[in-house]
Amino acid sequence: MSNINENKHIAVFSLPFSSHPLPLLNLTIKLAHQLPNCYFSFIGTAKNNQTLFSKTKTPINIKHYNVNHGIPENHQLLHGSELNLYLQTGQENFQKGIDLAVLETKTPITCIIADAFVTPTFDLAKTLNVPWIPVWIPMSCSLSVHFHGKEIRQHCTVNDGNKTLDFLPGLSVLRVEDLPHDPLMTDTEKETALTKALASLSTILPQAKAVIVSFFEELDLPLFVQDIRSKLQLMLYVPLFNLKPKTQVNDEIDESGCISFLEVQKAKSLKVVYIGFGNTVIEPPKHEIVAIAEALEESGYPFIWSLKENLRSHLPNGFLERTKTRSKVLSWVPQGRILGHGCVGAFVSQGGCNSMLEGMSNGVPVICRPYFADQGINARLAVDVWEVGVIIEGKVFSKNGLLKGLNLLLVEEEGKRFKENALKMKKIIEEANGPKGLATKDFKKLVELVSSS
């Protein structure tokens, strides 16, 4: 092993909410395998670290350290406030994580990799005089919204709905209704720690040693890529969703029974519907859960539904009993393995980045019902750029709207075109991840960057 890796210590800061932490841990594991002589200190909250590290085997050169979650004692948490309280803890809190890591390893930090939302790490890297490498986990195109926030506010308001964003390089397909709320905030709305962090991205990301985006350059719109590259020192396409390490606990065990269920449907030559909304902070309202259930029951299609226990009380009376011979309704399912099974014909999703990529990488058409953040952007790209599915009619689940979408994907002629396009996306992703693919090359660049810092 070259001496270049000796005495290297990389601090990795997660955003311990929603679907953000696991992709970052997977990247850390992948880097740790490539750089066995480097220390990797994964810093987050005690609760999230416990969840992550209890389910995942990690190399011996990764240790996790806990920092304050920022929630005052006896504090009444409002929806979304937990994330803002964590970001408000700021540089001083994150410095404590570094102090713990340095004390144990007796090795100073040489590089900081951080979820791009955890913006206090930018100033921390400056204080330590080490490279800062932020990781953008949402869809890459959503970066444009934060770089062009001023123009968006000049041209658009929340009431513009169907108005297209012709002034965004490469993203004229987007509409105002597809955007997250923060670029459209008015002066009268109160800023939060999160909206301040997002507003600062256009200033601090250009100062990063490199920015990692969790996507594929081959699938991005060329004008967007050209625009964002011109604003950054270096942009590396390292899709994190498919960096799942082979050390994942119980990866091949079918504890949920989903794979055996899919095999039974395959033997009957039946196409299965998979409904999953990822690890999202927004839960579908009761009336939409009822609508999904009614559509699934009337459709007659076999289905797997990842539905949290606390939401099952919303299901129509007798639904589980009436559909039990052709369904699996579980609080957790192995989503990647389900989507990778050839008999899944439709993926009903909220349009989260990781879920969209998992669907496309397995060639599965999608029905999107976006709720917040970048999900509206992702859904629009899926429909109007990649043409691998539809947005649910009215952007709200209804019985008839979901039935229409399912029949379109599974029965009608247009569904065959969506499937063909999804398979094309799968092939592009496979080639990007191949030995000569751009994703593989960019990961190697990242390894070199980290090891030489």
> What residue ranges do the domains of the chain occupy?
3-242+435-452, 258-431
> What is the percent of the chain where pLDDT is above 70?
94
Whether 443 and 135 have beta carbons less than 8 Å apart is answered as no
Neighbours of 17 (CB within 10 A): 18
The DSSP code for 55 is H
> Which residue intervals of 89-192 are DSSP H helices?
90-105, 120-128, 142-147, 149-155
- What three-state secondary structure class fits 146? helix
C-beta of residue 272 within 8 angstroms of C-beta of residue 343: yes
Confidence label for 12 from pLDDT (cuts 50, 70 and 90): very high
Q: Which one is catalytic: 9, 20, 148, 314? A: 20
Q: Which residue reads 């997002």 in tokens? A: 198
For 268-308, the pLDDT digits (tens) are 999 999 999 876 667 889 999 999 999 999 999 999 999 99
Q: Which of 9, 64, 115, 148 does the annotation list as catalytic?
A: 115
- 182 catalytic per annotation: no
**CA quadruple 286, 292, 298, 300: dihedral positive or negative?**
negative
pLDDT reported for residue 81: 77
Average pLDDT over residues 8-30: 93
The answer to whether 94 and 284 have CB atoms below 8 angstroms apart is no
The mean per-residue pLDDT over the stretch 429-452 comes to 94
Closest CA to 67 of 40, 35, 95: 95
6: confidence class by pLDDT, cuts 50, 70, 90: low
In 3D space, the residue among 349, 357, 353 whose CA is nearest the CA of residue 409 turns out to be 349
Q: Is 187 a catalytic residue?
A: no
Spatial CB neighbours of 120, under 8 Å, sequence gap ≥ 6: 87, 89, 90, 91, 93, 94
User: Looking at residues 46-73, what average pLDDT do you find?
Assistant: 90
Does residue 320 register a pLDDT over 90?
A: yes
* Amino acid 356: pLDDT: 92
CB burial string 269-291: b at 16+ within 10 A, e below = ebbbbbbbbbbbeeebeeebbbb
Q: What is the pLDDT of residue 282?
A: 74
CA nearest neighbour of 16 among 88, 69, 56, 91:
69
Residue range 99-105: average pLDDT? 97
CB atoms within 10 A of CB 436: 8
CATH code that applies to domain 3-242+435-452:
3.40.50.2000
What pLDDT does residue 278 have?
76
Smallest Cα–Cα separation from 297: which of 315, 270, 278?
Answer: 315
β 272-275/344-349 pair status: parallel
> In the structure, what pLDDT confidence band is assigned to residue 5 with cuts at 50, 70 and 90?
low
Equal fold, 3-242+435-452 vs 258-431: yes
CA 9 to chain centre: 26
Query: What would the two tokens of residue 43 be?
Result: 């810093």
Q: What is the pLDDT of residue 412?
A: 95
pLDDT, average across residues 113-127: 97
- Please tell me the pTM assigned to this model: 0.91
Q: What is the pLDDT of residue 411?
A: 95
Tokens representing 48 are 């999230």
In the chain, what percentage of residues exceed pLDDT 90?
74
Average model confidence (pLDDT) across the chain: 91
Domain 258-431 superfamily per CATH: Glycogen Phosphorylase B; (3.40.50.2000)
Instruction: Please give the average per-residue pLDDT across 176-196, as a whole number.
Output: 83
Write the DSSP string, 283-342.
PPPHHHHHHHHHHHHHH---EEEE--GGGGGGSPTTHHHHHGGGEEEES---HHHHHTST
pLDDT tops 50 at residue 249: no
The arithmetic mean of pLDDT across residues 224-240, rounded, is 96
Q: Is the pLDDT of residue 200 over 80?
A: yes
pLDDT of residue 80: 62
Render pLDDT for 341-392 as a digit per residue (tens, 0 to 9): 999 999 999 999 889 999 999 999 999 999 988 999 999 999 999 999 999 9
Tell me the Cα Rg of the chain.
22
Question: CA dihedral in degrees (335, 336, 337, 338; nearest 10)?
Answer: 50
- C-alpha to C-alpha distance for 379 and 371, rounded to whole angstroms: 10
